[in-house]
Amino acid sequence: SYIITTPRQWVSGATAQVCVYVDNPSAPDGKLTFAVKTYDWQPVDEDRNFTVVPNTVVHIPGGKTEKCYEVAVPSSTYNYGDLHIFGSVAGVNISRTVSMSWKRSKQVTFIQTDKYLYEPSENVKFRILTVTGPYLNVSTDQGLYTIYVDTQEESHSTTNFKVEDFVLPRFEVTLKPPSYILATDETFTFTVCA
């Protein structure tokens, strides 16, 4: 017994996952091949199939296993296609084709300057951040959260932040001036209480 899963919609220019779960501890080694082909909707006499993701071969280890495989999805102008999966899993030969779609990634670019107004000949400091979607609409309950970032260079970064109800601290400052100040006084003393 086995299960092969993947999203029905892949993001163009990103990485998709195909996951294989084998429940039989005595299952033999296997091998699967994935390919995605699309077709041109224009009615013509010639074959208009295009390979979007070329054959990707993965080895399935024997025994009970659960493993996900990364499939690079190139940028494409097509929106629909067929995912072809064939090979052997848990001693069973399979050949399956499923319709699927993919969408273009959404990129948002943020440009931030260190301040709004500058004087002539002053240096402008800025940063640019481009984020690729799809984005998750997440609501946060109170607690401690961690953002994990993996880059293509396989480096990892994390940052923590806290979500909690809080009230800005309030305080009172009292200035007590002298009882009188003369116009000829060069200095005067105030009492500050906080």
- Structural domains in the chain plus CATH codes: 2-104 (2.60.40.1930), 107-163 (no CATH)
pLDDT at 180 over 90: no
pLDDT at 25 over 60: yes
pLDDT (average), residues 13-42: 84
12-16, 118-122, 130-134 — which is least confidently predicted?
A: 130-134
Cα separation, 128 vs 159, whole angstroms? 19
pLDDT (average), residues 114-119: 87
What is the average pLDDT score of the chain?
82
Supply 41's token pair: 């909707």
pLDDT at 45 over 60: no
Cβ pair 56, 71 in contact under 8 A: yes
More reliable by pLDDT, 141 or 96:
96
Q: Which pLDDT band, with edges at 50, 70 and 90, does 110 fall under?
A: confident
pLDDT at 192 over 60: yes
Tell me what percent of the residues of the chain surpass a pLDDT of 90: 10
Q: pTM here?
A: 0.51
pLDDT (average), residues 54-61: 85
pLDDT of residue 93: 94
pLDDT of residue 134: 60
pLDDT of residue 12: 78
